[in-house]
Structure 1
Amino acid sequence: MSRDPENGLKSALGGGGSEGQLQWQAPWPLYAVAWCAASSARGLARLALGSFIDGPSGNYIQIVDLVPGSDPPKRQSEPRHTRSLVYPCTKLLWEPAYEQSLERSRRDRLASASDFLRLWAVSEESMVLLASLKASNRPEQTAPLTAMDWNEVDRSALATASVDTTVAVWDPELGRIRTQLIAHDNAVYDISFDQSTAHHFVTCGADGSVRLFDLRSLDHSTVLYESPTSNPLLRVSWNRQNNHYLLTLPSRSRLAVVLDIRMPAVPMAYIGSNEAPLNALSWSPSSANHLATADMDGHVALWELYQTVPKSEVRSFAECSLEGPVDNLAWSPALPEWIAAVVAPSAVHVLQI
């Protein structure tokens, strides 16, 4: 990842104009966003978007194709697919890409989390619902899902988090729960696998803690971090290039917390410089030391971590301002020069690094 502080963010994230970025308006308010890694091998950059509509009118998942290698990025003139569902998606997630999947099928699997866990098969021609899964057989006990993550080492492990304090680990091939556990004392807001193993995941929640679990021994967990103010923790993300590092985001905070799990009691760094609360964060998929944040004022920033740098000296090396609160970020795993930002209420910006 190049750094050019003299040219500001234009060289890194496309600046404030149209150079280096693509933007368009969806027909409804948006929240969820996810890049498909497998489709890039077939000459497409595929993006899934989820609406966030209150009330009885229903919600939507939309699939949009972009053209890799285009500068600035370009998208196909019309969405590839649009499907309806009742409740908004809190998370969209494509199946992790692997060599055999690229050879086996031209269909990509997409998971959506809302009232149920839904699995979709997406191809050029169609988008088909494969399964609609819930952890309880009793309708009155269906609790909304808040987050999910798919293990890249063991793709038979897809974990969902819920407001009812539980985590469920699913086998998406068989369409059934492998295990379910009470993870926190209150709602679980996020979950993230250690993508270097098949066993470890972390969660965070309304009780203000980050907890570490091992699928081989779920009778106990390790509390890695507790918010000093008991502030709920909304996001947790495990660094995919260095499994010592975690990132968590307290509610209504302008600072994200970087943790080294070897010394979790003392945060490694605090990330954030603007006065507005952070809404979204993402580790780089290709670098252990880079991450992105986005806030309520529309600022997107890139950061670089060095273990030897004091906490007070962690600064962003690139920033841009978008026209509205940034509700979500997705950093493309297959095309790491592209970051998608969802800007309230209904704009999508694809920023090119």
Structure 2
Amino acid sequence: MNSPAILQTPGFAHYSLAWSPFYNTKLALASSANFGLVGNGRLHIVSLLPGPAGLPTLKLDKFFESQDGLYDLAWSEAHENYVVTASGDGSIRLWDTMLDVRCSVYINLAIGVWQEHTKEVFSVDWSNIQKDTFVSSSWDGTVKVWRPDQPRSILTLQAHQSCVYQALFSPHQPDLISTCSTDGTLKIFDLRSPSYAVGPGSNSFTNPMSAAVLTVPASASEILTLDWNKYRPMVLASGSVDRMVKVWDCRMVKLGDSQVGGACESSLPGHEYAVRKLQWSPHKADILATASYDMTCRIWNTIPMGPQPPLRYIHDAHTEFVAGCAWSLYEEGLLATCSWDSRLNVFRP
């Protein structure tokens, strides 16, 4: 693909995107009016279609309105049509993307709503192992674990004392959750610890737990994003306000012991402004994509061979902050980016 396939959604700045784990040509976009400062949010459902001369095109299938801006989303790993979203009003909403919205665009059609967080919800992630479970993180400092058939969260972590920008389940072990925060740390929580047992009088939304098995002092500035390596358990990447991308090796930690540590395996300088999002390739252990407020998305080889530089490619087609990037789960090397310029780009670096 020599040039990106582009979809424009005027009036709505994109905050996050995700490829469907069930369909290789379907994506979802979380967006906000007025750059997320005030106004509605939208969940866009997009298809990648064959185009003229072999170049694919992007088609907006439908969109769902929310009363506040949407900051993140995740496809269900158990139901091919469900998407969960994180909202600026502190709510989490579950959507059925097969609902017909032609006659009711401005009606909130979410099939599930949870309102426990007291500030903006900034991330959601669906476990690809424990497929009936998802996790959320909020500016209120907490991380909550949910099941879509339960009216309340099943577990609450007082993960940080300040904003938790992202929380992710490990793709290798369903009981591990990693978090990053304004306090400059990465943390790993092990839900197998006895302190996280769920039962009468135990961990709940009114009695949160805070013991991390590992705390990594990863940056002197805010850490905005992190991701688990898909092939190397206990290896994480982080992106921060100081423009740095770092790879952390946490394999020496014995789970169950609260420790401060983690070895920085590599540092990847190059972005000119804060790193807003990053994601490891699902097809290669050493390839990482990063999105930044410098309006670029960059591709890195985190274990360069010989004199080859770690920075492999710069995508600079956006004209505003690049807030999201995501690799196709089915087609190797296919990458999507979204930006505050209201554009979704799909391309092959």
For Structure 1 versus Structure 2, the TM-score category normalised by the shorter chain is 0.7 to 0.9
Paired position in structure 2 for 1:26: 9
Amino acid at match of 2:212: S
Q: Distance in 2 between matches of 1:216 and 1:176?
A: 20
Q: Distance in 1 between matches of 2:338 and 2:233?
A: 27
Deviation at 1:314, TM superposition (A): 5.5
Deviation at 1:69, TM superposition (A): 9.3
Q: Percent identity?
A: 24
Paired position in structure 1 for 2:332: 336
Structure 2 gap ranges (5+): 103-108, 197-208, 253-260
Deviation at 1:192, TM superposition (A): 1.2
Q: Distance in 1 between matches of 2:21 and 2:248?
A: 27
Deviation at 1:343, TM superposition (A): 2.8
Q: 1:222 to 1:68 in 2, by over 3 A?
A: farther
Q: Distance in 1 between matches of 2:153 and 2:293?
A: 37
Paired position in structure 1 for 2:82: 109
Residue 171 in structure 1 maps to residue 147 in structure 2: yes
Query: What secondary structure sits across from 2:330 in the alignment?
Result: coil
Amino acid at match of 1:180: T
Deviation at 1:228, TM superposition (A): 4.9
Write 1 or 2 for the structure with the bigger share of helix: 1
Q: 1:212 to 1:22 in 2, by over 3 A?
A: same
In angstroms, what is the RMSD of aligned CA positions? 2.6
Superposition pairs for residues 1-353 of structure 1, below 5 Å? Answer: 14=1, 19-28=2-11, 29-40=13-24, 44-53=25-34, 54=36, 57-67=39-49, 71-76=54-59, 79-96=60-77, 107-114=80-87, 115-123=90-98, 125=100, 128-135=109-116, 142-217=118-193, 218=196, 220-229=211-220, 231-251=221-241, 253-262=242-251, 264-306=261-303, 315-324=310-319, 325-353=321-349
Q: 1:52 to 1:208 in 2, by over 3 A?
A: farther
Query: What secondary structure sits across from 1:288 in the alignment?
Result: coil
Structure 1 gap ranges (5+): 1-13, 102-106, 137-141
Q: Distance in 1 between matches of 2:130 and 2:51?
A: 31
**TM-score normalised per structure 1:** 0.80
Deviation at 1:239, TM superposition (A): 1.4
Tell which deviates more after alignment, 52-61 or 334-343.
52-61
Amino acid at match of 2:163: A
Q: Distance in 1 between matches of 2:49 and 2:115?
A: 36
Q: 1:56 to 1:268 in 2, by over 3 A?
A: closer
Q: 1:109 to 1:255 in 2, by over 3 A?
A: same
Amino acid at match of 1:122: T
Q: Distance in 2 between matches of 1:32 and 1:52?
A: 14
Q: Distance in 1 between matches of 2:312 and 2:305?
A: 14
Q: 1:52 to 1:288 in 2, by over 3 A?
A: farther
Deviation at 1:224, TM superposition (A): 3.4
Higher-RCO chain (CA-CA 8 Å, sequence separation at least 6): 1
Q: Distance in 2 between matches of 1:317 and 1:57?
A: 38
Q: Distance in 1 between matches of 2:172 and 2:182?
A: 27
1:270–1:314 contact (8 Å) kept in structure 2: no
Amino acid at match of 2:245: A
1:37–1:332 contact (8 Å) kept in structure 2: no
Q: 1:224 to 1:68 in 2, by over 3 A?
A: farther
Q: 1:82 to 1:323 in 2, by over 3 A?
A: closer
Q: Distance in 2 between matches of 1:154 and 1:59?
A: 29
Q: Distance in 2 between matches of 1:193 and 1:207?
A: 20
Q: Distance in 1 between matches of 2:309 and 2:245?
A: 12
